[in-house]
Chain A
Amino acid sequence: MKILVTVKRVPDPETTIRVKPDGSGIVTDNIKYVINPFDEIAIEEALRIKEKQGQGEVVLVSIGAKVASEQLRTGLAMGADRAILVLCDQELDSLGVARILAKIVEKEAPDLVLMGKQAIDDDANQAGQMLAALLNWPQATFASKVEFMDNYVQVVREVDGGLETVRFPLPGIITTDLRLNEPRYASLPGIMKARKKEIREIAVAELGIDTTPLLTVHKMDPPAKKAAGKKVESVQELVHLLHTEAKVI
């Protein structure tokens, strides 16, 4: 089975994010970048599917500046077979991303596309759904379990208040949730092998599609600072304040 996995370069969740004073974006100096954690789960799942089936190919695809090859190289060190980097310097919205991916799917003809349910930088949670619509493929989002049956794939989805089990025939799209698996570390032999694996670069212009964003970011605000806590004298006072001030009981 050929599996295409999307990989986005995002700021390390452990870095402190600061918003630029003019609200036009975040301060990117000295930020460390990593693979979007949900995409890392998608890579892990693809590798497990390949290992379980004993054959197949795992192809990574990323969109962005040349530096995104760092994250692709890490995915290759985890065990993916090869990678594609769509070079694109402009800002993209989810639809632009989905259109580019649709072109890549057309060229690569994978049986399955595995994506993170969202990227932790903009938390849009749209690209997978839009890609499914553009391709007219079935989709299962927020996957917490993926199993292959005779001629379909069965996915357990994490939905509000419980789990939903869905099935669809391939090809299709699955987006991963946090509890699907625990990604492996890139091993040292994996790192050494990754050096020889291919990262093919494609200029976005070559794809001949319109990626002008319909959505633009106008302003970013940092979250409100937490106000200092308050000390209370007694349990009675605490209960009283929880009722009258916090209004939680």
Chain B
Amino acid sequence: MPVFDLFNPSEEHAMLRRTVREFVRDQVEPQALVHDQQERFNLPLFRQLASLGLFGITVPLEYGGAGMDAVAAVIVHEELSASDPGFCLAYLAHSMLFVNNFYRNANDEQRRRYLPKVISGDWIGGMCMTEPSAGTDVLGMKTFAVRRGDYYYLNGRKMFITNGALDDTTPGDIFLVYAKTEKGISSFVVESRFPGFSLGQRLHHKTGMRASMTAELVFEDCAVPVENRLGEEGESLLHMMRNLEIERVTIAAMATGIAGRCVEIMTRYASERTAYGQPINSFGQIQRYIADSYAQYMAARTYLYHTASKLDLDRPGQRIDSDGVKLVATTMAKQVADNAMQVLGGYGYFGEYVVERLWRDAKLLEIGGGTLEAHQKNITKDLTRRLDVIR
């Protein structure tokens, strides 16, 4: 009887990891450095993820997806991020924030209309929540939609939107946009060709994640057909909560992907690099970096897979751990990347040795998809109400 493998709970999960790892080794890794340096999104490579069937990973088979679970999504993010977190962030925005989020909240007609376009990668999507003056305080959003006849008219601006642009001038194709309406927060599927939609600032000079494009999107009396509203008016706070859970869990997976790679790099380097006539891994100071990094990585990774295996994609209610694992894993990844750079010394500070890029990329994970402070707020609130989770 084989021992249960938390990180690959079924043969399908193990095969998925193997396929993605091979793809990453052959196709993703060789292009990562240059796309980071040039702040370019590799759209042709991105579309190859569609031929692997990865865009509809959590969408049931009957809608053209792969019908897999949160653990599968975690595996893909972990493997992509071990090589190119920026590229992985674009994947997260498309496959989780748009495709999965849309599938969970759309009706059948909407699913049939849009899923084939986004699962095939013909259209690239994203999600719009944050605004120039509203981040963690999401209910402070100013974008609003007013219904007139068969259309809603959207006005407002959305900020830091991953896949908002595909290059300097081309916007992404389709967005799930949250906006205030008469009855509360609602969400809309907005195609970038709708009148009143425009690409605002293309945001350059990010610290990391430079292989994904970030933009501001502007809505000026943007006309959205009523049949593009997801669910009923005012229902979308629930949609948002449900989506944030898988978003946070997959961001945590990006963090463990980064950390695992850093542990690998520093361990190998320390066994090869010599000082005072011996490999540097014979020094206690270096051993501490390696051992602490590995143990913290495994602790976070175990929490991650535990959380993912319990995550129900159809309903919210697991926020305490989706926030908990993101809080733990992202801070761990930043620390482990820093440890790796310290072990590599001067070499670690240069792009060729990979750690430098992962070190920059790791920081975003403490901010995007919910700041550390948002997780601290949520966890305290949920824990106070439900202290029984400890037992």
- Least CB distance, A11 to chain B, in whole angstroms: 15
The 8 Å CB contact of B54, one of A70, A77, A188, A195, is A188
Main secondary structure of the interface of A (DSSP, over half): helix
State whether the Cβ of A204 lies closer than 8 Å to any Cβ in chain B.
no
State whether the Cβ of A190 lies closer than 8 Å to any Cβ in chain B.
yes
The 8 Å CB contact of B66, one of A73, A74, A189, A194, is A189
**Residues A187 and B12 in contact, CB atoms below 8 Å apart:** no
The 8 Å CB contact of B57, one of A185, A186, A188, is A188
**Residues B66 and A188 in contact, CB atoms below 8 Å apart:** yes
Return chain A residues, CB-CB under 8 Å to B72. Answer: 188
Return chain A residues, CB-CB under 8 Å to B61. Answer: 189, 192
**Residues A186 and B66 in contact, CB atoms below 8 Å apart:** no
> How many residue pairs at the A-B interface have CB separations less than 8 Å?
44
Contact with A along B62-86 (1 / 0, CB 8 A): 0000111000100000000000000
**A-binding segment of B13-21, B183-191, B196-204, B223-231:** B13-21
Return chain B residues, CB-CB under 8 Å to A192. Answer: 12, 61, 66-68
State whether the Cβ of A191 lies closer than 8 Å to any Cβ in chain B.
yes
Q: Could you tell me the distance between the alpha carbons of A86 and B57 in the complex, rounded to whole angstroms?
A: 34
**Chain A interfacial residues counted at CB < 8 A:** 14
**Residues B51 and A195 in contact, CB atoms below 8 Å apart:** no
Nearest B residue to A189 by beta-carbon distance? B53
Contact with A along B326-346 (1 / 0, CB 8 A): 000000000000000000000
**Residues A185 and B12 in contact, CB atoms below 8 Å apart:** no
**Residues B22 and A73 in contact, CB atoms below 8 Å apart:** no
- Least CB distance, B58 to chain A, in whole angstroms: 11
- Least CB distance, A10 to chain B, in whole angstroms: 15
Q: Could you tell me the distance between the alpha carbons of A188 and B19 in the complex, rounded to whole angstroms?
A: 8
**Residues A77 and B15 in contact, CB atoms below 8 Å apart:** yes
**Residues B15 and A74 in contact, CB atoms below 8 Å apart:** yes
Contacts A192-B61, A192-B66, A192-B67; A187 near B15 (Cβ below 8 A):
no
Return chain B residues, CB-CB under 8 Å to A73. Answer: 11, 15
Among A74, A77, A185, chain B packs the most CB atoms within 10 A around the CB of A185
**Residues A188 and B18 in contact, CB atoms below 8 Å apart:** no
**Residues A188 and B11 in contact, CB atoms below 8 Å apart:** no
Contacts A74-B18, A185-B52; A191 near B23 (Cβ below 8 A):
no
Return chain B residues, CB-CB under 8 Å to A70. Answer: 11
Q: Could you tell me the distance between the alpha carbons of A186 and B16 in the complex, rounded to whole angstroms?
A: 8
Q: Could you tell me the distance between the alpha carbons of A225 and B206 in the complex, rounded to whole angstroms?
A: 47
- Least CB distance, A73 to chain B, in whole angstroms: 6
- Least CB distance, B33 to chain A, in whole angstroms: 21
**Residues A188 and B23 in contact, CB atoms below 8 Å apart:** no
**Residues B22 and A191 in contact, CB atoms below 8 Å apart:** no
Nearest B residue to A190 by beta-carbon distance? B53
Return chain A residues, CB-CB under 8 Å to B51. Answer: 187
Nearest B residue to A74 by beta-carbon distance? B15
Return chain B residues, CB-CB under 8 Å to A194. Answer: 15
**Residues B23 and A185 in contact, CB atoms below 8 Å apart:** yes
Among B15, B18, B54, B68, chain A packs the most CB atoms within 10 A around the CB of B15
Contacts A190-B53, A192-B61; A185 near B68 (Cβ below 8 A):
no
List A residues 179-218 near B (Cβ within 8 Å).
185-192, 194-195
Nearest B residue to A78 by beta-carbon distance? B19
**Residues A187 and B11 in contact, CB atoms below 8 Å apart:** no
Cβ contacts A to B, 22 pairs, < 8 Å: A73-B15, A74-B15, A77-B15, A77-B19, A185-B19, A185-B22, A185-B23, A185-B52, A186-B18, A187-B51, A188-B19, A188-B52, A188-B53, A188-B54, A188-B57, A188-B72, A189-B53, A190-B53, A191-B19, A192-B12, A194-B15, A195-B12
Q: A residues within 8 Å of B by Cβ?
A: 70, 73-74, 77, 185-192, 194-195
Q: B residues within 8 Å of A by Cβ?
A: 11-12, 15-16, 18-19, 22-23, 51-54, 57, 61, 66-68, 72
Known: A77-B19, A187-B19, A191-B16. 8 other contacts (CB 8 A): A73-B11, A74-B18, A185-B22, A187-B51, A188-B19, A189-B61, A189-B66, A194-B15
